Amino acid sequence: MATVWIMKIGLVQIDGKIPNIALMQICSYHEQRGDSVEQWNGPLWNNEYDKVYASKIFSFSEIPNLPQSALVGGTGIDFYNKLPEDISNSKPSYTLYPECNYHIGFSMKGCRFACKFCCVPKKEGRPWHNSDIDGLLLNPNGGDRLMLLDNDFFGSPKWEEDLSRIIELNLKVCFVQGLNIRIITKEQAGLLAQCRYYNGKFNKRYLTFAWDKYKDKDIVMKGIEICNNAGITTKRMQFFILIGFDTTPEQDLERVTMLRDMGAKPFVMPYNKADGYQNKFARWVNHRSVFNTVEWKDYKHNYKERA
């Protein structure tokens, strides 16, 4: 009778604040083999592991002192790397994240657009359906909370079916990557209004959209109007605001103040985190109590005052 070799596997989430799906699938694959899987304990224990996997999402994140044989993947390493098929077909395991109290996953992948600042179209291609909603409800501690990682939810060929199922199951849903308000339809907004939508902590009621390009001002305002008419008030909207890519500081300021005055919640995303202005501006806007009471010109960390 053949001897089964039980391996000790270490998994490393180098960056990112939410559970890592790739690591969850690797965990599931090795658990099914009977291996021992745990969070990597650090370089002092490198010799204890038979195999170490690490996931790196962002290019700027530093890689820790891993074993030389460690398998390091993710968008932060290469846009096009993929898990082996036998691992990518494994259903995610929540063993690594015992404190996670929501379900997480992709109902779809890919994107209809080709924004130059985004790697999703290069990595995943055109939109395709990845999983039905019931297939994502795998966390024993997830309850009625679902976090979708979709980059273009309404680009899915089954968006209406999936959204209707979310409503039918009365799930609290978070579209954590944001929704595209530029081309939202009355039908889509109407169904969204029937959802129990929440933020990433599932403690506040708002949807996240994006206003990346200043030139999209008119169509963003039209999208807001469509949502308002469907019953989604502006105060229940957060907007990712990309700065430092193709906009001026004046255009950045106009976007965030316009949204604030409308009751929405802007959240600034710097394109270049090494740039002083972008970091300071993001700090001002994203600290909402400061942003709502102090003007940019009066902000004590305004980069111009330290130049």
Query: Could you read off the pLDDT of 55-88 as tens digits, one per residue?
Result: 999 888 999 999 999 999 988 887 777 899 999 9
Sketch the domain layout of the chain as residue ranges: 1-93, 94-306
Instruction: Enumerate helices (H) and strands (E) in the chain, giving the number of each.
Output: 9, 13
Can you read off the two tokens belonging to residue 35? 């291996």
Q: What are phi and psi of 269, to 5 degrees?
A: -120, 105
CB neighbourhood size of 110 (10 A): 20
Higher pLDDT, 128 or 21: 21
**What is the predicted pLDDT for the residue at 59?**
84
**What is the predicted pLDDT for the residue at 115?**
62
Q: pLDDT digit string (tens) for 222-255?
A: 999 999 999 999 999 999 999 999 999 999 999 9
Contact 170, 196 (CB under 8 A): yes
Q: What is the crossing angle of helices 186-193 and 217-230, to 10°?
A: 50
Contact 189, 183 (CB under 8 A): no
As its CATH architecture, domain 94-306 has: Alpha-Beta Horseshoe (3.80)
How far does the chain reach from its first CA to its final CA, in angstroms? Answer: 73
Instruction: Record the pTM.
Output: 0.91
